[in-house]
Amino acid sequence: MFRFLNIAGTSLKMALQEFRSNKLRTFLSLLGITFGIFCIISVLATINSMKIAVKDGLNSLGSRTIFVDKWEWRDDNNYPWWKYVKRPNPKYEEMAELKQRVPYVANASYVISDNSTIELGTDVLTGINYYGVTEEFSNIEHFEIGLGRYLQQADFDRGANNIVVGYSVAEKMFDNPERALGQTIRLKSNKPAIIIGIIAKQGQSMMNMWDYDNSIIMAWTYLRQITNEKNANPKIIVQGKTNVSIPALKEELTGAIRSIRKLSPTQEDNYSLNDIETFSKVLDSIFTNINKGGWAIAALSLIVGMFGVANIMFVTVRERTSQIGLKKAIGAKRGTIMAEFLLESAFLCIIGGLIGLIAVYILTAIFSSFFTFKVFIPANIIALAVSICLLVGILAGIIPAFIAAKMDPVVAIRSK
């Protein structure tokens, strides 16, 4: 063990000496290693951070939630939209029947949506999400009312024009969100609406499906008065009971919906049951493809870098030929000479990899300031970078090291 550490220490000193004495040549030769490590670590770190942020966002949507929709969530280059567009939209009456027929359902809500403007005098806000919901929507989705109150049963029964607005909407429209309570604003089609509550600030999220900060929530019976329900992306959100699995809930919903829509056994489903797990698989497929692209670029760069390091080692062997001969003359074994050069090659690659890692750290700081999630480099990815550098270093140095190890000491000492 002591002998190996001594060889490793000598190799590290030689690698650092090579870098100091030939800075430009060594740096240019290591550039491929640096770029390769930069590519793969930056891609892996970003995707890993994104997946964690997405997972947290998906968890906030609820693990027991199924979306009954005409559209299917899938990652497919041949997405058959012409098939799904012909499907009937989910209806409020179907939601009510599902609650009666499926005992596994804890909560269910019918939702329609739109994207339009709101007006207050001459002030206009564009790109505001309208959500028309039923009573149990607030039991399924996770948001809090920061000021005022949420919609009550009477609001749903009467289709009242009372609305709950997002924090950003209230802040932009009234500067101070507290001033928004009780105010009347104009919605799409110049319809008046009274603000009765303000949703607590949500902040940016990787998977903020509803974007409550820039939304308004109202009874679906009121929203359908100002928008075309068929074009309002209607869907039914179903939340299963705590002791019910997603597959079991899907099976029960499938039988109930087919019965409600009177589909014969030979007819295919004219609806989709989308759940968070399905969406996660779609995202995993996307992340996998991005990772493959990163590995492909990194592999090309590492191959170029490997040839660069091999070139350095060939030159180093030639420059140290007399030293190699002297070492062998005083008893150094072939394995020792070979180990010294292999470790020196590996250390050179690690130096190139460290430069790449430093560049990635700088990049993560920049990305974190722009993205809605924090980008970080976990320890396992750093360990992967070091392992790649060691492997590339050994492959790059194996031929030069073999040449050095088999030199004739007499011939080597006489060389200049």
Q: Going residue by residue through the chain, which has 416 residues, state the pLDDT in tens, using 9 for 90 and above.
A: 555 556 556 656 665 665 566 666 667 777 788 888 888 888 888 877 777 777 666 665 556 889 999 988 776 667 778 888 889 999 999 999 999 999 999 999 999 999 999 998 888 999 999 999 999 999 988 888 999 999 999 999 999 999 999 999 999 998 888 899 999 999 998 899 999 999 998 876 655 677 889 999 999 999 999 999 988 999 999 999 988 888 899 999 999 999 999 999 899 999 999 887 766 676 777 777 777 877 887 788 788 888 888 887 888 788 777 877 777 777 778 777 788 778 878 888 888 888 888 888 888 888 777 766 777 888 888 888 888 888 888 888 888 888 888 887 777 677 65
Do 227 and 301 lie in one domain? The reply is no
Do 143 and 209 lie in one domain? The reply is yes
Q: Rounded CA gap, 53 and 23, in Å?
A: 41
Under 8 Å CB-to-CB from 164, ≥6 apart: which residues? 145, 148, 150, 151, 195, 196, 197, 198, 199, 216, 217, 218
Do 204 and 110 lie in one domain? The reply is yes
Domain membership of residue 369 as a residue range: 2-57+281-414
| CB contact at 8 A, 337 and 327 | yes
Give the total number of structural domains in the chain: 2
Task: Kindly state whether residue 69 falls inside one of the protein's structural domains.
Answer: no
DSSP 245-265: -HHHHHHHHHHHHHHHTT--T
| CB contact at 8 A, 338 and 345 | no
The residue among 415, 207, 245, 244 whose CA lies nearest residue 317 is 415
| CB contact at 8 A, 345 and 394 | yes
Q: Rounded CA gap, 104 and 19, in Å?
A: 68
Task: Kindly state whether residue 83 falls inside one of the protein's structural domains.
Answer: no
Task: Kindly state whether residue 71 falls inside one of the protein's structural domains.
Answer: no
The residue among 48, 70, 54, 3 whose CA lies nearest residue 274 is 70
Do 196 and 303 lie in one domain? The reply is no
DSSP 28-51: HHHHHHHHHHHHHHHHHHHHHHHH
Under 8 Å CB-to-CB from 393, ≥6 apart: which residues? 309, 342, 345, 346, 347, 348, 349, 350
Read off the tokens for 227: 């928008």
Do 40 and 92 lie in one domain? The reply is no
Do 248 and 374 lie in one domain? The reply is no
Could you tell me the CA-to-CA distances from 92 to 24, 111, 182 in Å, in that order? Answer: 71, 9, 29
pTM: 0.66
Do 395 and 373 lie in one domain? The reply is yes
Q: What are 67's strand-pairing partners?
A: 237, 274
Task: Kindly state whether residue 7 falls inside one of the protein's structural domains.
Answer: yes
| CB contact at 8 A, 18 and 11 | no
Among 212, 235, 270, where does a domain finish? 270
